[in-house]
Amino acid sequence: MKIKQKIVLSYLVISLLWVIAGGIGIITTEQVNRNFEQIANQTIPVKNELDILENSINDIVRCTLEYVLLKENSILEPANLSDNVIDNRTDQLAQINRGMIKESREIDKSKHVYLKSIRNYQSLVKSYFPDENNYVEAIQNTSHEVIEKSRQFILASQQQKSRSLIYEQQQEFDRIRKKFDAAIQLATNHEHDELTTRQAKMHSTLQYAVESILGVSLANIILAIILGTLVSFSISKPLQKLQVAAQAIGQGHLGIRANLSTKDELGALARAFDKMAADLQQYIHDLQQEQESRSLLAMALENVGDAIEITDAVGHYIYVNPAFERITGYSQSDVLGQTPAALLRNEQQSTGFYQDMAATVARKNIWHGFYVSKHKDGTLYDQELTLSPIVNEQDQVTHVVAVKRDITDRKRSEVALQKSEERLRLVLQGSNDGFWDWDVATNEVFYSSRWKAMRGFSNDEISSKLQECVDRIHPEDVNLFQQALQAHMERRTDTFSVEYRSRCQDGSYIWILDRGQACWDSAGNCMRMVGSETDITRLKTIEATLREAERRWLNLLDNVQLVVVGIDLVGRVEYVNAFFLELSGYRREEVIGKNWFENFLPQQQQRQTQQYFLDIQAQNLDTYSQNQILTKSGEEKMIAWNNTFLKTPQGEIIGMMSIGADITERQAIERMKDEFISVVSHELRTPLASIQGALSLLMSGLLDLQPDKVNRIIEIASESVDHLVIIISDILELEKLNSDQMRLSKQLCNAAQLMPKVENLIQVNASRVGITVAVTPREIFFAADPDRILQVLTNLLSNAIKFSEPGSTVWLTVELQNAGEDVVFEVKDRGRGIPVDNLDRIFQRFQQVEASDSRQKGGTGLGLAICRSIVEQHGGRIWVESILGKGSSFFFSLPTQIAEDRDQKT
Ligand code: ADP
């Protein structure tokens, strides 16, 4: 907004407010006036009507009184009057009568006025003072009363009532009149009060109007001040900013800006000012830069390592820099006015050389080349020279700028470099490694002859591109190569080193170990990379062989049914194989790193075994040992160890690898075998001793004369022989079963066919001792070796018969259990029963409830052991339930496996 617009707007706002204040004043005054008028209009007619009312009442009263008076006069002194007097009185009376008629008319007139007036008054009061009916009613009532009394008064006088009565009436009439006056007074007073209240209200309205006008005026003044301040502020503030910016720029702070965003003239001024300041700043900046570049140029000329000389059109020196003085030995004062030809020429260069130089420059071309120059002291030195002609607008050579570089050192280092390269070449030729040198910018790679030879190429068969190398890399290794290269080029790795397979000319691959080092420029860009390659195919083959050997070895260790444990010198577990974990119940992480002796050996063996480990370590002996280990569940397992020390290539022991077999079972079996042999030998010895005794008795001849006794002894010997035969055949049978020599020939069996067979087999025996055999066959099919099952059933039934009293019954039943998966046979008797603690034991070899059973009942104690072996070989189970003295039930279950076996059979 423009400033003018701002001021005009402020002026308009203030004026508008003044107009509003004036308006409020006028409206309020108008309101007050109207109220005044209204009150005046309201009260005057009421008052008038009241006056009229009062007058009419007064008229009525007055006329009434006068009428009564006249009447009274007419009736007074009625008798004893002379004729004159009477005539006189008659005239008087006629006069009075006329007067009375007149008064009476007057009264009626007044009444009429009264009635009209009271109506007017009533309506006026109702319209102006709607709440004030009581006064009207009071006035109305009392005035009615006045009229009524006046009527009664007249009536009384007409009826010629006594004077005293008239007088009384008059009294009453006066009283009512007073009441009426009082009512009129009250109404007048009330109206007066009402008027006063209204006036007071008007006063307060007027007061409010005055206060409003004052308030609006005050607000107006404040607003005017604020607006004035704002307008002046909006003008002065930007001006101030402009002033500050102008001062700052004046003091050289060119970056300062007024930065006014207003849209008015000041804003435009400020923007123009800011632009001017920016232009000025840019101009000064450009100027400074030019100055800087000039001084830089001058400095460069003064400090540059190369000699710079400027000659004029005729070849005289006009400028030489300090490097010139240093290189040539001539100072500026020596050369000014001289020509290069006079000072520097020498016989080493031919005249043609100089002529060519001069002709090139004359053709306005740059001449660049090497030549031998002469020092002030007369010595010659190698120089690299560039001559640049400066041509004016008329295409004339006005000056020649010569830049010269002393290349004596460079020549020297070039020679040194040549030597070093020669050395490197010899080294590379001598070494078996390939060599490459990659110029990243041109992507040119130098591949050494050995690099090529390693892949079966001759020198010129390989291009000098990086792709030549990349394309030969095995597809599986390309990514690895690229990543390693990239990482080193981006300086993420210190050296480039990668192993990959490279394809040779004949299509075979060789393994390469490629190592290199990059060079970067100051901006960090990789400029060059140099490296060597070693053929590591043989190493890789060995490595693979070793890895495979290790894999096989570990595979073997993990699959072998032997415990393998590796511990370090302090006994910490470093390796355990799968079999150890399976045997011990531990997880690998629960074992690795733990102390072998403290955690996995029974407490009583820990110290001793650890000491043993230290002893054999000290003696450097590989040994065999046995000790128990503790499984996770606390079970002890006996292991027979083969301990081998692990050694470094230098022979230093670093740990021990022990391979052990779990011999717990074997030991138990051996123990059992020992026990068995001792039991068997005892069992065999008993009948043998009896046979031996019988034979020696017979041989002694003592019984020769007693044939009965001889017979009895022979009988005993024969029984012992029988018993011996049974024992031996049972032992052999059991051994056959346990050693798995006897193969089961399983087939589908039907219990309904098997059970009667058993019954037939056992019947004779049972009948002999008076035992009834009750067999309940059922059609149940199962897979088993029928002969073996017959053997089990016969054995169980024989036992049942053997241990039952004569005359009792033994039962053989069968049923399906476990949802038809098992067939269960039961052999029940009512015999002597078996004590609870013998229920398991009797299934072991040579176990009998009573030691005398063998003798009395003729058993060997092997029958149930054979039964168990047969049932278990069928995958079944055998058990007994018994109550001592009441009888026993022997059960055995076999898996039915009907479906499979039926299939097999068909
Ligand atoms: P034995 O040839 O002695 O009978 P077993 O192995 O068949 O050998 O039985 C072992 C022992 O089990 C018997 O000597 C006997 O003490 C007890 N026994 C077996 N069957 C019964 C049974 N039905 N009632 C009571 N005891 C029995």
Q: For residue range 455-471, what is the model confidence (pLDDT) as tens digits? A: 998 877 778 888 888 99
The whole-angstrom separation of Cα 745 and Cα 868 is 17
The atom number, within ligand 1, closest to the CA of 860 reads: 2
**401: nearest Cα among 298, 335, 319:** 319
- What is the pLDDT at residue 86? 60
More confident residue, 485 or 173: 485
316-344 pLDDT per residue, tens: 999 898 889 888 889 888 888 888 888 88
CA distances from 101 to 3, 94, 115, 157 (A): 96, 10, 21, 14
More confident residue, 627 or 705: 627
The whole-angstrom separation of Cα 161 and Cα 167 is 10
Q: Do you know the residue count of the chain? A: 906
Highest mean pLDDT among 3-7, 55-59, 619-623, 869-873: 869-873
The whole-angstrom separation of Cα 179 and Cα 425 is 157
Lowest mean pLDDT segment, chosen from 296-310, 814-828, 864-878? 296-310
- What is the pLDDT at residue 462? 78
Check: CB of residue 225 under 8 Å from CB of residue 245: no
CA of 794 to the centre of ligand 1 (A): 13
Q: For atom 19 of ligand 1, which residue has the closest CA?
A: 799
CA of 849 to the centre of ligand 1 (A): 7
The atom number, within ligand 1, closest to the CA of 859 reads: 2
- What is the pLDDT at residue 629? 94
pLDDT above 90 (res 815): yes
- What is the pLDDT at residue 906? 34
Work out the end-to-end distance of the chain between its first and last CA atoms, rounded to an integer number of angstroms.
Answer: 114
- Beta-carbon count within 10 A of 109 CB: 14
CA of 846 to the centre of ligand 1 (A): 10
- What is the pLDDT at residue 116? 78
- What is the pLDDT at residue 78? 47
57-97 pLDDT per residue, tens: 777 777 777 777 776 666 554 445 556 666 666 676 677 67
> What DSSP letter does each residue of 179-205 carry, written as one string?
HHHHHHHHHHHHHHHHHHHHHHHHHHH
Q: Token match 């394809």: residue?
A: 503
CA of 681 to the centre of ligand 1 (A): 21
pLDDT above 70 (res 125): no
Average confidence (pLDDT) over 511-529: 92
Q: Token match 């402009």: residue?
A: 242
CA distances from 13 to 128, 226, 491 (A): 44, 12, 74
The whole-angstrom separation of Cα 602 and Cα 590 is 17
- What is the pLDDT at residue 350? 82
Give me the helices (H) in 701-815, please.
707-738, 751-768, 786-802
Average confidence (pLDDT) over 181-201: 72
More confident residue, 756 or 223: 756
Tokens of 116: 């009209």
CA of 861 to the centre of ligand 1 (A): 7
- List ligand 1's pocket residues with C-beta within 6 A: 799-800, 803, 829, 831-832, 834, 842, 847-850, 853-854, 859-865, 888
751-798 pLDDT per residue, tens: 999 999 999 989 988 999 999 999 999 999 999 999 999 999 999 999
Lowest mean pLDDT segment, chosen from 41-45, 441-445, 472-476, 741-745? 41-45
The whole-angstrom separation of Cα 408 and Cα 381 is 6
More confident residue, 735 or 592: 592
- Beta-carbon count within 10 A of 722 CB: 12
Q: Ligand 1 pocket test: which of 848, 879, 886 has the largest number of ligand atoms within 8 Å of its C-beta? A: 848
Q: How confident is the model at residue 537 (pLDDT cuts 50, 70, 90)?
A: very high
Q: Token match 């002393």: residue?
A: 406
- Most distant CA pair in the chain: distance in Å? 234
**874: nearest Cα among 785, 759, 768, 767:** 785
The atom number, within ligand 1, closest to the CA of 853 reads: 14
- What is the pLDDT at residue 600? 95
Check: CB of residue 259 under 8 Å from CB of residue 274: yes
Q: Give me the amino acid identity at 836.
A: V
Average confidence (pLDDT) over 634-638: 93
**What is the β-pairing status of strands 397-406 and 307-312?**
antiparallel
Q: For atom 20 of ligand 1, which residue has the closest CA?
A: 799
pLDDT above 70 (res 145): yes
Q: How confident is the model at residue 903 (pLDDT cuts 50, 70, 90)?
A: very low
Q: For atom 21 of ligand 1, which residue has the closest CA?
A: 799
- What is the pLDDT at residue 73? 65
- What is the pLDDT at residue 822? 94
Q: Is 743 left (phi over 0), alpha (psi -120 to 50) or beta?
A: beta
Q: How confident is the model at residue 812 (pLDDT cuts 50, 70, 90)?
A: very high
Average confidence (pLDDT) over 551-569: 90
CA of 802 to the centre of ligand 1 (A): 8
Lowest mean pLDDT segment, chosen from 571-575, 662-666, 859-863? 859-863
CA of 856 to the centre of ligand 1 (A): 12
- What is the pLDDT at residue 898? 55
Q: Ligand 1 pocket test: which of 765, 830, 843, 853 has the largest number of ligand atoms within 8 Å of its C-beta? A: 853
More confident residue, 321 or 194: 321
Q: For atom 7 of ligand 1, which residue has the closest CA?
A: 863
The atom number, within ligand 1, closest to the CA of 850 reads: 16
Tokens of 182: 């009082």
Q: For atom 2 of ligand 1, which residue has the closest CA?
A: 859
Average confidence (pLDDT) over 233-251: 80
429-451 pLDDT per residue, tens: 777 888 899 999 888 998 888 88
pLDDT above 50 (res 599): yes
- What is the pLDDT at residue 40? 58
Q: Ligand 1 pocket test: which of 799, 812, 866, 879 has the largest number of ligand atoms within 8 Å of its C-beta? A: 799
- What is the pLDDT at residue 274? 83
The atom number, within ligand 1, closest to the CA of 795 reads: 7
- What is the pLDDT at residue 674? 79
8-50 pLDDT per residue, tens: 777 787 778 778 777 777 776 677 667 666 665 665 666 676 6
- What is the pLDDT at residue 163? 64
pLDDT above 70 (res 385): yes
- What is the pLDDT at residue 904? 47
Q: How confident is the model at residue 510 (pLDDT cuts 50, 70, 90)?
A: very high
Phi, psi dihedrals of residue 812, rounded to the nearest 5°: -125, 120
> Could you tell me what percent of the chain has a pLDDT over 70?
88
pLDDT above 50 (res 314): yes
Q: For atom 14 of ligand 1, which residue has the closest CA?
A: 848
CA of 848 to the centre of ligand 1 (A): 6
CA distances from 892 to 516, 735, 761, 803 (A): 81, 21, 19, 19
The whole-angstrom separation of Cα 114 and Cα 64 is 14
The whole-angstrom separation of Cα 195 and Cα 29 is 19
Q: Ligand 1 pocket test: which of 849, 869, 884 has the largest number of ligand atoms within 8 Å of its C-beta? A: 849
pLDDT above 70 (res 135): no
pLDDT above 80 (res 206): no
- What is the pLDDT at residue 389? 92
Q: 3-state SS of 392-455?
A: CCCCCEEEEEEEEEECHHHHHHHHHHHHHHHHHHHHHHHCCCEEEEEECCCCEEEECHHHHHHC
CA of 864 to the centre of ligand 1 (A): 7
pLDDT above 70 (res 740): no
CA of 784 to the centre of ligand 1 (A): 24
The whole-angstrom separation of Cα 18 and Cα 40 is 33
Q: For atom 25 of ligand 1, which residue has the closest CA?
A: 833
CA of 885 to the centre of ligand 1 (A): 14
